[in-house]
């Protein structure tokens, strides 16, 4: 039976440390602030933004949410980002994804100053990650995944890792982070043949493809560490990309959904913003 990796508890410890750092920054006259831009009325995005505002408040940090209508033009959005780049009171800028149709996400994200790109998605930060250099910020969910992995004490170097999913937000960055820790990495996707056989080789499985219960227990090598990034809403509730009930019988460590990666994503966002404030 697998040990459960408690993302809530690990995230709570990070937040506690950040609360102390924010207090210290305030004593020095620095009041850390995160600016979040939400375009449109996507219900899930609205929940995520509220959670980020609450996360900021919990550690004593300021947040400033800019809620814009869905018909906001690229020119208007870029003008707002430019203003926030130039605002010395703002330490981090996050553009909530997905953006409404008609707005080019890559182009928009490219206007955020790399030094304030606390989501770690600017091409300059991603490029440094690709080159094995130290970016200003690492994307939050992949960074959280690595923290959860490290919490197990399992050696990553030399292990075979399989990442299921190739998104720019999770799959690709987490694969690069694993490579930087000297794992042997395979990325799987919708065109991968014999997915089960590939996953079965892995000592570390990262599931981030957005398909409920895709990875079953029989696809997992006994003793593997399983990190489930998936968050899929079904009538029965929230489930991950991993069939938890069957996987927990063969894995050595596994994250639950909810309560695994989710809390870590916001914790790493807060951490990046505090780091930006410290560097200012």
Please give the torsion angle defined by the CA atoms of residues 222, 217, 169 and 62, in that order, rounded to the nearest 10 degrees: -90
> Annotated catalytic residue: which of 33, 116, 117, 119?
119
What's the N-to-C CA distance of the chain in angstroms? Answer: 46
Q: Active site includes 279?
A: no
User: Which of 169, 163, 164 has its CA nearest to residue 97?
Assistant: 169
DSSP 57-69: HHTT-EEEEEEE-
Q: Active site includes 52?
A: yes
Of all helices (H) and strands (E), which one includes residue 239? strand 237-239
Of all helices (H) and strands (E), which one includes residue 81? helix 74-86
CA gap 152, 225 in Å, rounded: 9
> Annotated catalytic residue: which of 21, 33, 52, 221?
52
Query: What DSSP state is assigned to residue 114?
Result: G
Neighbours of 8 (CB within 10 A): 15
Q: By the 8 A CB rule, do 246 and 215 touch?
A: no
Catalytic site residues?
52, 96, 119
């Amino acid at each position: 039976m697998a040990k459960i990796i408690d993302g809530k508890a690990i995230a709570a410890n990070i937040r506690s440390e950040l609360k102390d750092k924010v207090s210290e920054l305030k004593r020095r006259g620095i009041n850390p602030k995160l600016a979040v831009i939400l375009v449109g009325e996507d219900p899930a995005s609205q929940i995520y933004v509220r959670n980020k505002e609450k996360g900021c408040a919990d550690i004593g940090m300021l947040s400033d949410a800019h809620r814009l209508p869905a018909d906001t033009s690229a020119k208007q959005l870029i003008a707002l980002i430019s203003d926030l780049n130039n605002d010395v009171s703002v330490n981090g800028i996050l553009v909530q994804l997905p953006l409404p149709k008609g707005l080019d996400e890559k182009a928009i994200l490219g206007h955020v100053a790399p030094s304030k790109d606390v989501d770690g998605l600017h091409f300059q930060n991603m490029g440094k990650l690709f080159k094995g250099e130290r970016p200003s910020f690492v994307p939050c969910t992949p960074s959280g995944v690595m923290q959860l992995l490290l919490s197990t004490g399992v050696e990553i170097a030399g292990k075979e890792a399989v990442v299921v999913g190739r998104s720019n937000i999770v799959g690709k960055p987490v694969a690069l982070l694993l490579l930087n820790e000297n794992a042997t990495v395979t990325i799987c996707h919708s065109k991968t043949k014999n997915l089960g056989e590939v996953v079965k080789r892995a000592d570390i499985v990262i599931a981030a493809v957005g398909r409920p219960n895709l990875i079953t227990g029989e696809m997992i090598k006994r003793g593997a560490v399983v990190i489930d990034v998936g968050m899929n809403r079904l009538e029965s509730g929230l489930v991950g990309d991993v069939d938890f009930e069957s996987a927990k019988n063969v894995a050595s460590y596994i994250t639950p959904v909810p309560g695994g990666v989710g809390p870590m994503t916001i914790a790493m966002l807060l951490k990046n913003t505090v780091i930006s404030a410290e560097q200012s």
